[in-house]
């Protein structure tokens, strides 16, 4: 990293700019090597400054929210890692006729939005009860479960681009897929707007309790993990395929396929990213050999990695 960029970031962010910061401190897996520079930002103007500084220096920039759904390499992350701070964790509500609009910062916990919506007897997010992570991370994954997903209720997205500045994408400009949101190249998510309609409060809370019960009965609790590792193939469940391949409890180093849910890998003993990646590769190979189905990762691999096999 150039001395010029180092000085720019230190001058603008002070102690909020850290160098060679271990990413294991900032991921739910508790895994990850050092980022060249890690910055906590509080508003869109600070994001824009970091974007432009990184662009001018010719280095990449990556944004992290709560740190779920990512696996950071043991080698760390080259360039600038931006952590969205408390300024991006707000949720504001307003009425639009019989509908309610929630304007949520990208770093706001997904669970908080779900709870607040239920408290207002608003329907559309019951499926998300218990889904970890931030609003921004949920958007990128088009998080979903039990027949619902974020795209059902997202109405607009606010973003930041180094060239265009602060931008807003309306509903008809948003492109969703299965566990995917097509983020325009170079844009970082600052906030998401949701439009929800009133429902029966008792029924909303019943569906939330049902989702929570199903999630807690299957998913591992108490061990660091990054959520679901693989996307469900069409007409199948990744966890079922992995279980059928005999891999529940299978371990590489400190990483293990959860005995509770085979589509989760848990950090049982100071696992390395290389342990998790090796375990993922073995899962893909085993399921392919068993069923000729190629599993696709749901988590994002971040940082420097060795060239893939073959």
Provide the annotated active-site residues. 179, 228, 298
Under 8 Å between Cβ of 116 and 102: yes
Which secondary-structure segment (H or E) carries 201? Answer: helix 201-218
Max CA separation in the chain (angstroms): 59
- Exposed/middle/buried for residue 188 (C-beta within 10 Å: 0-12, 13-18, 19+): buried
Concatenated DSSP letters of 106-153: TTSBHHHHHHHHHHTTEES-GGGTT--SBHHHHHHHT-EETTEEGGGT
Tell me how far apart the alpha carbons of residues 163 and 209 are, in angstroms, rounded to a whole number. 45
Tell me how far apart the alpha carbons of residues 310 and 265 are, in angstroms, rounded to a whole number. 24
Could you tell me which residues come within 8 angstroms of residue 207 by beta carbon, excluding any fewer than 6 positions away? 126, 127
Q: Which of 52, 56, 19 is nearest to 35 (CA)?
A: 19
Which runs of E-coded beta strand occur in the chain?
Answer: 17-22, 34-41, 61-64, 70-72, 77-84, 91-96, 99-105, 122-123, 144-145, 148-149, 154-161, 165-170, 176-177, 180-181, 187-198, 251-252, 255-257, 265-267, 300-302
Q: For residue 177, what are its two tokens?
A: 């897929």
């Amino acid at each position: 990293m150039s001395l010029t960029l180092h000085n720019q970031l230190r001058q603008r962010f002070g102690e909020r700019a850290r160098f060679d910061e271990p990413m294991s401190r900032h991921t739910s897996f508790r895994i990850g090597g050092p980022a060249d520079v890690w910055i906590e930002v509080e508003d869109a103007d600070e994001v824009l400054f970091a974007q432009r500084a990184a662009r001018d220096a010719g280095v990449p920039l990556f944004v992290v929210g709560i740190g779920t759904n990512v696996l950071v390499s043991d080698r760390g992350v080259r360039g600038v890692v931006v952590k969205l701070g408390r300024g991006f964790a707000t949720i504001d509500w307003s009425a639009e006729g019989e509908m309610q609009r929630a304007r949520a910062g990208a770093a706001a916990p997904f669970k908080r939005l779900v709870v607040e919506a239920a408290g207002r007897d608003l329907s559309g997010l019951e499926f998300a009860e218990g889904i970890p992570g931030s609003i921004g991370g949920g958007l990128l994954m088009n998080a979903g479960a039990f027949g619902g997903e974020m795209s059902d209720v997202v109405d607009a997205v606010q973003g930041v681009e180094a060239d265009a500045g602060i931008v807003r994408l309306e509903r008809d400009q948003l492109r969703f897929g299965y566990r995917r949101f097509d983020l325009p190249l170079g844009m970082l998510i600052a906030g998401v707007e949701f439009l929800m309609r009133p429902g029966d409060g008792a029924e909303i809370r019943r569906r939330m309790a049902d989702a929570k019960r199903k999630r807690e009965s299957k998913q591992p609790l108490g061990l660091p993990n990054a959520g679901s590792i693989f996307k469900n193939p069409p007409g199948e469940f990744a966890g079922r395929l992995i279980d059928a391949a005999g891999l529940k409890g299978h371990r590489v180093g400190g990483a293990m396929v959860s005995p509770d849910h085979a589509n989760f890998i848990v950090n049982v003993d100071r696992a390395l990213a290389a342990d998790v990646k090796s375990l993922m590769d073995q899962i893909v190979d085993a399921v392919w050999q068993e069923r000729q189905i190629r599993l696709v990762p749901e988590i994002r691999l971040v940082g420097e990695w060795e060239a893939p096999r073959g």
